[in-house]
Amino acid sequence: MMFMLRVYCLPIVWLNLAVAVFSADKYSREDFPPGFIFGSGTSAYQVEGAASEDGRSPSIWDTFSHQGKMGGATGDISVDEYHKYKEDVKLMAEIGLDAYRFSISWPRLIPNGRGPANPKAVRYYNNLINELISHGIQPHVTLYHYDHPQALEDEYGGWISRKIIKDFTAFADVCFREFGDRVMYWTTLNEPNILPLFSYDVGQLPPNRCSPPFGFNCTQGNSTSEPYLVAHHLLLAHASAVRLYRKKYQDKQQGFIGINLFVFATYPLTNSTEDVLATQRANDFFVGLIANPVVYGVYPDIVKKNAGSRLPAFTNQESRQVKGSFDFLGVNHYMSIQVKDDSASLKSEYRDYLADMAVEMMADIDNTKFEYPIQPAGMQAALEYMKQAYGNPPIYIHENGQRTRRTSSLDDTSRVKYMHGYIGSVLDAIRNGSNTRGYFTWSLIDVLELLGGYEACFGLYYVDINDPQLKRHAKLSAHWYSQFLKGRPVGSTSDALIELA
């Protein structure tokens, strides 16, 4: 799970939503459309461990974490799903999940970034996929979750080079060929609207690129141009992989392919024209940078205007290839923000991506509690925005969950209240016409959080990382989700809380 921009923690003054709010307080699984998918998810570096086993090479995350930039936390072992996948699949079956979303580690499957596939990695992912299917659980696979091989970063700079388009497409080809006979849902990229900002503008995440006066103590990079260059290459790589899948695999394998976006619910701080326009500008920069090209084949006008020549242009052929390059859109949503105009930032001659956006963003987060505010109406607002701005595409909510401080207590009442509210808001959105087809919690178990190490957690299961056996312990939220998935109606949050066995 990832977020955020320059977020200021202030109380939120709620504005009226331009959507119908049903406030589903009492509901059951039967209220959702037939075929609606419920699942949970993780990602490779955050959950697998076995970082140097069976031929895996370092990813940019290995390099970053071993430089001490995650407070000493690394994914070397994490929660060791590489060796404990059967145990975890059994937990998924006991909960009653329809699907499990996970990612494939590029440096595990193709250690040098290009070349032959690692047979031990092929065997591992085949075993995981077969184990899921044997328990009636659909595999939903993300190809890239922030973790390309360090070898490609060293060779040509990773996503700042067009060379990665060919290598990513070859990696995708191996995945489609080896696993596509059983994987029906593919996501090319996780949050490509986050990566340019956090990795190449502010440099808070690997490969830790930025330039003064922007960013977090980087030694290389260019915050004014690289975020746009990287976004452009991500889009071209995505379109290339989709084109390959549709040409070579989709008719035979009968699967679906899409791309994932991080989506806030955004509200203007005031009713002023400036803040209202700033809110749309934030959406255009933050969501539209990726969504507009894949839906319409072009970047948003305001992005082109404010970024100018720093934003690469699509050729006519590239525009045609990017446009419509999805069967569904994945959405990661955690919270709502308020937006305040900051047009003064446009007066600076030397600007980064955030200055081009020209907004301030505010979230109602109490960091002393370590928990996200429970604002379920924001889920419906985010889905309504996707419906209205992008023609109501099929949507899978790939990530949604409550952050808490890691603790051995299994009473995560806040997470139960969060899930109850947000799943109910998904139902409200569907009743209002949203083409949402699935919901995945983040995360199945407590994993290495990319912005919180082992201090923050989102899991339905607690894992004591100091326990040599890394035993999983069901939290209250796991029991609540299981009973909901097995047909138990859930009412108000007080009624929904069930006692731990």
Indicate which residue of 48, 81, 178, 399 is catalytic: 399
Q: Looking at 299-358, which runs of residues are DSSP E strands?
A: 328-332, 336-341
Which residue among 191, 318, 371, 449 is the active-site one? 191
123 contacts: CB under 8 Å, gap ≥ 6: none
The residue to which tokens 């949503």 are assigned: 333
The β-bridge partners of 61 are none
Q: Which residues pair with 257 in a beta bridge?
A: 186
The one-letter amino acid code at 234 reads L
Q: Are 382 and 314 in contact (CB under 8 A)?
A: no
H or E element in which residue 247 lies:
helix 226-248
Cα angle at 67 between 66 and 72, to 5 degrees?
65
Residue in the structure block whose two tokens are 């939220």: 477
What DSSP string describes 249-300?
THHHH--EEEEEEE--EEEESSSSHHHHHHHHHHHHHHTHHHHHHHHHSS--
| Amino acid at residue number 118 | N
Tokens of 49: 């461990």
- DSSP letters along 172-231, please? HHHHHHHHTTT--EEEEES-TTTHHHHHHTS--STT----TTSSSS-SS--TTTHHHHHH
Strand duo 336-341 + 359-363: pairing: antiparallel
End-to-end CA distance of the chain: give it in Å, rounded: 29
Helix (H) or strand (E) run with residue 473 in it: strand 472-474
Residue 455's CB is within 10 A of a number of other CB atoms, namely 11
191 counts as catalytic: yes
Active site residues: 191, 399
